[in-house]
Amino acid sequence: MVGVLRLNNGMATKPQYGEDRLVNKRTGKLASSSTWLLDLAACAVVVGDSKGIPALLPQSEAQKLLVHNELKKFNRHKSVKAVSGQESSHADLRVLACKALPTIAVFYIENVVGNRLPSQVNKKGFRGWLLGQLAIPSSALNTFLKNHPEFSALAELKRAVNWWLDRQKQRVNP
């Protein structure tokens, strides 16, 4: 009975082509040299396949990698697409800021510089106003952004002037 359990346990840990990845034995993280081809070659080495199609894989390189690495199931985290207005990753916030800039610019023109000539309004002044308004939690801009669910993630966003400068450049040169 014990021998049967060991046999079944050993079969469950047998590496499967395409499912197992090279993982560092010491850290448990994905090996830096892990590629799909080397992962398949390492599976072939562990299983003992050296004839046919597996013979075409770089098995000698995989043997070297198996000194400090082992094959394990390694599931990458699936990227979760945030709900509009609930973005939290840097990339999502950059995209959202690019989408929101025209709306924020209209708010700026209507509420701040409505009585000035267009020649008196510039991008530098807009960015300065934007950073100042985002730094004040109860400012009119933060209230405006919180009331618009699609832009609520930008409310009280702390970013440097250069970050907003890059968003403006992306709006001009997409």
Q: Is the pLDDT of residue 9 over 50?
A: no
Task: Please name the amino acid found at residue 114.
Answer: G
Instruction: Specify the DSSP element, H or E, that contains 69.
Output: strand 69-73
| Other beta carbons within 10 Å of 145 | 25
Please, what's the b/e burial string for 86-106 (b: 16 or more CB within 10 A of its CB; e: otherwise)? ebeeeeebbebbbebbeebbe
Q: Please tell me the predicted confidence (pLDDT) of residue 15.
A: 65
Helix then strand then coil, in percent of the chain rounded to 5, is 55, 5, 35
Interval 157-163 mean pLDDT? 80
Q: What is the overall mean pLDDT for the chain? A: 77
Q: Is the pLDDT of residue 6 over 80?
A: no
Residue with the two structure tokens 């709306």: 103
Condensed to tens digits (0 to 9), the pLDDT of residues 59-94 reads 899 888 989 998 888 766 565 565 555 556 778 888
Rounded to whole angstroms, the Cα distance separating 168 from 149 reads 22
Rounded to whole angstroms, the Cα distance separating 17 from 71 reads 10
Q: Please tell me the predicted confidence (pLDDT) of residue 124.
A: 82
Condensed to tens digits (0 to 9), the pLDDT of residues 15-69 reads 666 678 888 888 888 888 888 888 888 888 888 888 888 888 888 998 889 899 9
Q: Please tell me the predicted confidence (pLDDT) of residue 4.
A: 36
- Contact of 157 with 171, CB cutoff 8 Å: no
- Contact of 120 with 113, CB cutoff 8 Å: yes
Say what the pTM is.
0.48
The SS3 assignment for 77 reads coil
Q: Would you call 150 exposed, middle or buried from its count of C-beta atoms within 10 A (0-12, 13-18, 19+)?
A: middle
* Residue 123: pLDDT band with limits 50, 70, 90: confident
